[in-house]
Amino acid sequence: MKNDRINGTASVAGTGSGGGGGGDIIMPPFNDANIGVHGIQTSGLLGSVDIQIDALKTVKGTSADGLIGTIAVPSDAEILSTGIGSTGFIGTATVPANFIYLDSIFPSTTVAGNTIEIRFMGIGFDTPNLQINVSGKGVAVTTISNVTYYSFSAIFRVDSGNNGVGRHAVTVQTDVGISGGKDLIVSPRK
């Protein structure tokens, strides 16, 4: 189909690497084409999804069982900290200017009596009055450093006895609010 003139609607099957077809679909601007994309689906890794067409376009969904790389969401989309869910079209969405989200802590396990540096990953950490909340007893936060919007580090000191042994919920708090929790597991020293 490359370099062929299209005067209507065209369907392209088997694009991509492997089984059927592959390569680029090039539609020069002189074509009077109506292009419909009815889903981008993968069961593995899908890198960047970038659809740039100077014609009528319809994108009806992106689905993956694995990791999806980068997806551009229009600025009029609403994305909640719990995610975006829909059984049909999402429609208009809005991204709040300020929110806090804790994605992970690493490491998330330690031994009683240790002092460790834990790396926090997420969103919204650079807002005022950053603090860490740890449930239970026997674990103290002594220092917070290297704070950016997406990450920071903190020094945790765990009591040497069995006082701090067990599961501790760790949350992050700023003036914007409190994140969801991640578990820190403290094992007894052997």
pLDDT digits (tens, 9 = 90+) for 32-85: 444 444 455 555 555 555 554 444 444 445 555 555 555 555 544 444 444 555
- Whether the CB-CB separation of 102 and 180 falls below 8 Å is answered with yes
Q: What is the pLDDT of residue 190?
A: 87
Q: What is the pLDDT of residue 55?
A: 44
Of 14-28, 119-133, 135-149, the poorest mean pLDDT is in 14-28
What is the mean predicted confidence (pLDDT) over 135-155? 96
Q: Which two tokens stand for residue 172?
A: 């992050």
What is the mean predicted confidence (pLDDT) over 167-189? 95
Mean pLDDT, rounded, of the chain: 72
Domain ranges of the chain: 1-72, 101-187
Beta bridge partners of residue 177, listed in sequence order: 174
Distance CA 33, CA 52 (A): 14
Fold of domain 101-187: Immunoglobulin-like (2.60.40)
Cβ-based burial of 156 (10 A; exposed 0-12, middle 13-18, buried ≥19): buried
pTM of the prediction? 0.53
Q: Is the pLDDT of residue 122 over 60?
A: yes
Tell me which of 158 and 95 has the higher pLDDT: 158
